[in-house]
């Protein structure tokens, strides 16, 4: 509203020692870049109430997909060649005065399958925690991890489909099995590969592992 400060300035005013993440910044409105230029140049912004908000203790991180195609196409090329292609894409979009005020430009190479496997294991931690609340342990074998990596990784989109793969191959079918009472007497679940799919094996209480 008219009597409210801006969302960004208000957040920084309340917590000046903050990290501000602007994801896929190239999609922002042109006016946002004018504001960013003012922040990067002067270290402050004035909100709609006329209050000056200092950004001197604020770290601003901007992510962008500009040059992502070049990263995929030049994955096996020398670092300098790939970096030059990405920087060309950045300079073709951002004004020079914007790029010149950015302290550091970090370019990430595309994810490898090993990286994606690590991401899969990290995202499975949340499911492990939820199952633990139901007194169930979760073990996902290396073969099952490989299936999730194949399903959840593409060079173009990186690891974004990983969460969807976990939901499709583990969370949804396992939820139905739990609701149906298939694991009522189990103390844990083992997830194993079954071709391009996954199967669940229950760990029966006091009986070791038994097929589900």
In angstroms, the Cα distances linking 147 to 58, 95, 203 are: 41, 43, 21
Share of the chain above pLDDT 90, in %: 61
What the chain holds in terms of domains, given with CATH numbers, is: 7-99 (3.40.50.300), 113-211 (1.10.8.60)
Which is more confident, 48 or 137?
A: 137
For the chain, give percent helix, strand, coil, nearest 5.
Answer: 45, 20, 35
- pLDDT tens readout for residues 73-95: 887 888 889 999 999 999 999 99
Question: CA 212 to CA 184: how far, in whole Å?
Answer: 11
- Distance of CA 201 to CAs 15, 67, 166, 191, Å? 49, 44, 17, 6
Cα angle 143-163-7, degrees, rounded to a multiple of 5: 155
CA pair distance 179, 186, nearest whole angstrom: 13
| 203 touches 149 (CB < 8 A) | no
Contact predicate 85/67, CB 8 Å: yes
Return the DSSP state at 72: H
Query: Quick one: angle between helices 142-152 and 113-132, nearest 10?
Result: 110
| pTM (two decimals) | 0.68
Residue 37, CA distances (Å) to 43, 48, 49, 98, 126 in order: 9, 18, 20, 6, 39
The string of pLDDT tens digits covering residues 91-110 is 999 999 999 999 999 988 88
What pLDDT is stored for residue 68 in this prediction?
85
207 has pLDDT over 80: no
What's the distance, CA 145 to chain centroid? Answer: 18
């Amino acid at each position: 509203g008219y009597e409210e400060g801006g969302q960004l300035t208000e957040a920084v005013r309340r917590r000046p020692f903050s990290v501000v993440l602007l994801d896929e910044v190239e999609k922002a409105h042109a006016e946002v870049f004018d504001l960013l230029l003012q922040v990067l140049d002067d270290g402050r912004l004035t909100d709609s109430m006329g209050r000056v908000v200092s950004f001197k203790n604020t770290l601003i991180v901007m992510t962008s997909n500009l040059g992502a195609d070049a990263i995929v196409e030049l994955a096996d090329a020398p670092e300098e060649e790939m970096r030059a292609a990405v920087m060309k894409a950045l300079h073709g979009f951002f004004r020079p005065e914007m790029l010149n005020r950015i302290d550091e430009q970090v370019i990430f190479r595309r994810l490898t399958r090993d990286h994606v496997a690590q991401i899969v294991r990290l995202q499975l931690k949340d499911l492990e925690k939820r199952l633990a609340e139901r007194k169930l342990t979760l073990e996902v074998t290396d073969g099952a991890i490989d299936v999730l990596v194949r399903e959840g990784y593409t060079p173009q989109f990186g690891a974004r489909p990983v969460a969807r793969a976990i939901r499709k191959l583990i969370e949804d079918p396992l939820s139905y099995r739990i609701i149906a009472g298939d694991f009522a007497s189990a103390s844990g679940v083992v997830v194993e590969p079954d071709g391009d799919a996954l199967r669940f094996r229950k760990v029966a209480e006091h009986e070791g592992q038994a097929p589900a």
